[in-house]
Amino acid sequence: MADAMQPLPLSALAGSITPGRKGRRSGGPGVLVEEVRPSGIATIIARQGQTEALAAKVRLDLGCDLPLKPRRVDSAGVALIWAGPGRWLALAAADHVDAPFAADLETRLSGLASVMDQGHALSLLRLSGPRVRDALAKGFPIDLHPRAFGPDDAAITLVSHITAHIWQTRADPVYEVAVARSLAASFWHWLEASAAEYGLQIEGG
C-alpha cells in the first residue's frame, strides 16, 4: 500500500556525508568513501539445532553456502555475512526487487531461523583508496593486511568505542563497514579525522 505521499527515509549521516574532498587537498585522495544503502538488511539467527537445515535452505534458495566462520558470501543480489555463532547479517543489493526483504526472508526461513528487520538499524560505508588501510588502522585493532584479511573476510570489532562490522568486498581493497545508526555520526567524526592526512574523497550523495 505504498503511497505517493510516503516520506523518504533520512540517513543518519545526512548532515555529515556531503560529496567532496576533506582533509589534505594536494594529490589524489588517499581514501574514498560512500554511503551504501542496501534495499534491505536483516539479522538471521538460527533456531536451536537448525543450522544445517538453514544452510541447506540457503543453498537451495540463494545458491550459496552459509558462512560458518567470519566470512561473507554473495549470491543473487543477497550477501550473507557471519555475525557471530549461528548469526548472520543479510544484505539485499540496492536493486534487489523481492521487497520487503526481511519479511520475505522470514517466510522462507520460517522454523529454521528468526529474522529481524534491521533495514534502518545500521549505517553502511564503502571504503577504498590507496591509503584506506592506513586510515582504518587508526581505529580497527584487527589485522587488515592481505595476508590476514582478504576478500569476503568479515570481522566484528570495536573502533573508537563503537562496534563495527567490517567485511572486504574486493581485493584492491574495498571494505564495507556497518555501524549502529545512532553512532554513525560519531563514527564519521573518527573516520574524517583519521583519513584527513591522506585526503578523503566523499562520493555519491
Partner 1 sequence: MNDAAPNAHSAAPARRLGDNAPLRLAEGGLIDRSRTLAFTFDGQRYLGHPGDTLASALIANGVRLVGRSFKYHRPRGILSAGPEEPNALVELRSGARREPNSRATTIELYDGLVAASQNRWPSLKYDLLSINGLAGPIIGAGFYYKTFMWPAAWWEKVYEPLIRRAAGLGRAAGVPDPDTYDKANLHCDVLVVGAGPAGLMAALTAGRAGARVVLCEDDFRLGGRLLLDRREIDGRSALNWVAATEAELAAMPEVRILRRTSVVATYDHGTYAAVERVNDHVAEPPSHEPRQRLWRIVATRCVVAAGATERPLVFPGNDRPGVMLAGAVRAYVNRFAAIPGRRAVVFATNDDAARTVDDLAHCGVDVVAVVDARPQASAVMADATQRASARHISGGAVTRVHGRLGVEAVDIRAANGATARVACDLVCVSGGWSPNVHLASHLGGRPEWDATLAAFVARNLPERMDLAGAAAGDLALADAFTQGHRAGSAAAEACGFSAASAPIPLLDPESTATSPLWRVTGTRGKAFVDFQNDVTTGDLELAHREGFRSVEHMKRYTTLGMATDQGKTSNVNGLALMAELTQTSIPATGTTTFRPPYLPVAIGTLAGHHRGKEFRPTRLAPTHTWAKEQGAIFVETGLWLRAQWYPTPGEKDWLESVDREVRAVRSAVGICDVSTLGKIDVQGPGAAAFLDFLYTNTMSTLAIGRARYGLMLREDGFVMDDGTVSRLGPEHYVVTTTTANAAGVMAHMEHAQQWLRPGLDVTLASVSEQWAQLSVAGPRSRDVLRAVVDPAHDISDAAFPYLAVAEVSAMGGIPARLFRISYSGERAYEIAVPAGYGDALVRALMDAGRAHGIVPYGTETLGVLRIEKGHVAGNEISGQTTARDLGLGRMLSRKKDFIGRALAERPALVAAGRPALVGLKPVDRSLRLRAGAHLVAQGAEPTAANDQGYVTSVAHSPTLGHWIGLALLSGGATRHGERVRVWDPVRSGDTLAEVCDPVFYDPAGERLHG
The answer to whether residue 193 forms part of the interface with partner 1 (CB under 8 A) is: yes
The answer to whether residue 64 forms part of the interface with partner 1 (CB under 8 A) is: no
164 contacts: CB under 8 Å, gap ≥ 6: 139, 140, 156, 157, 158, 177, 178, 179, 187
Q: By C-beta, is 75 or 150 nearer to partner 1?
A: 150
The answer to whether residue 53 forms part of the interface with partner 1 (CB under 8 A) is: no
* Phi/psi at 37 (5° precision): -125, 90
Q: By C-beta, is 45 or 64 nearer to partner 1?
A: 45
Q: Applying CB under 8 A, which part among 54-62, 67-75, 110-118, 169-177 lies near partner 1?
A: 110-118
CA distance 164 to 144: 14
The β-bridge partners of 44 are 88, 115
The β-bridge partners of 156 are 165
Smallest gap from Cβ 63 to partner 1, in A, equals 25
Q: Are 73 and 88 in contact (CB under 8 A)?
A: no
CA atoms within 13 A on the CB side of 36: 23
CA distance 31 to 49: 43
User: Residue 197 gets which letter from DSSP?
Assistant: G
Residue matched to cell numbers 583508496? 129
The answer to whether residue 201 forms part of the interface with partner 1 (CB under 8 A) is: no
Q: Applying CB under 8 A, which part among 59-67, 73-81, 124-132, 154-162 lies near partner 1?
A: 154-162
Smallest gap from Cβ 106 to partner 1, in A, equals 10
Q: Applying CB under 8 A, which part among 53-61, 64-72, 91-99, 174-182 lies near partner 1?
A: 174-182
Q: By C-beta, is 75 or 130 nearer to partner 1?
A: 130
Query: Where does this chain bind partner 1 (CB under 8 A)?
Result: 1-12, 14-15, 23-24, 43, 45, 47-49, 100, 113-114, 116-122, 134, 137-138, 140-143, 145, 147-148, 160-162, 180-183, 185-187, 189-190, 193-194, 196-197
